[in-house]
Structure 1
Amino acid sequence: MRPARTRPHPRPASSAGGGARRRAALPRHPAAGPLGLLAAALAGAGYLYTRDPHLPGQALPFCPFHRLTGLQCPGCGGTRAAWDLLHGDLSAAWHDNAALLLALPFVAAWYLVRLRHGLAGRTWRLRLGPRTVAALLTAAALWTVGRNLL
């Protein structure tokens, strides 16, 4: 014998205080993202300017990959390189992480395009094809292997 099927009770169309209701999202201006990123970057740069990552005991983030393996990831040295750039020492920043310095103009160009579109009231997203993503991942892997072998 099969159990009888039960029908769920219909929900009332508008119940006061019953169930979760979906809230409408607040509209956001397209420039909010780039301007928020700029504010966060300025706050981070201001904090980093007063800390020297070359000295031990500073309240700065650490690399979990380096902490676990002892090897350097593609981003290792980025905090030191940023500190060196903030203090005008380009050669030390290059020594800390050359790949990040080479990527900096591309990141700046991406940010400026996104900011320009946002201020004009348009949304814009960077779309990378599969070949570009593969090339970036390959470059990061080669950089990681190269810097750990030398």
Structure 2
Amino acid sequence: MVPAQPPTGASIRSRTLRRASIALGVGGAAAVYLWHTDPHQPGQALLACPFKWCTGLLCPACGGTRMAYDLMHGDVVAAFHDNAVLLILGVPAVAYVAGRWLVAGLRGRAYPIRLTARSNAVVFGIAAVWMVARNLVG
């Protein structure tokens, strides 16, 4: 059996560009659709939260679609009202990780995204506290 060769810088760069292009295309199409579909109005063709549908409670991500809609339309106050923790912690965290992945990939280096037990505990802890707090407050 021939041992597998590690990927070269050019192959990592090519794979990163391909994946980033796909993500940009899918995200762009979703953003165009959301731009014209107000999630604040009932009867829109958007997926409902399955957790809220089953339990009647808000999950930690509930309001994320409304938050994205409000951000795209420049209403930061309404976006904060829709889901404050996702706006303050989630958006910057995803932007940081995606930016690190993209920069490393374009430089020809692999950037594996690894979640440790500690980081999982922090994320789930914040999500649990946020879910309880927002359901108690109403």
Q: What band does the TM-score fall into relative to the shorter chain? A: 0.7 to 0.9
Work out the CA distance in 1 between the residues paired with 2:51 and 2:58: 7
Look up the match of 2:65: 79
Offset at 1:33? 2.1
1:125 maps to amino acid: P
How is 1:127-142 mapped onto 2 (pairs within 5 angstroms)?
127-142=114-129
1:108 and 2:67 equivalent?
A: no
How far did residue 123 of structure 1 move? Answer: 2.2
TM-superposed deviation, 1:147: 0.4
Q: Distance in 2 between matches of 1:144 and 1:116?
A: 34
- The percent of aligned pairs where both chains have the same amino acid is 48
Shift in Å, 1:93: 0.3
User: Using the alignment, how far apart are the partners of 1:112 and 1:36 within structure 2?
Assistant: 16
Flag the structure with higher helix content. 2
Q: State how 1:22-61 maps to structure 2 within 5 Å.
A: 29-31=14-16, 32-61=18-47
Separation (CA, whole Å) in 2 of partners of 1:141 and 1:57: 29
TM-score between both structures, scaled by the size of structure 1: 0.77
Gaps of 5+ in 2: 1-10
CA contact (8 A) 1:52 1:83 kept: yes
Q: What letter is aligned with 2:129?
A: L
| Matched residues, number | 124
Counterpart amino acid of 2:15? P
For 1:29-57, what per-residue CA distance to the aligned partner results, in whole angstroms no more than 9, with x for missing partners? Answer: 33122332222111111110000000011
The structure with the larger Rg is 1
Equivalent AA in structure 2 for residue 66 of structure 1:
K
Q: Structure with the greater relative contact order (CA < 8 A, sep ≥ 6): 1 or 2?
A: 2
Match of 2:105 in 1: 118
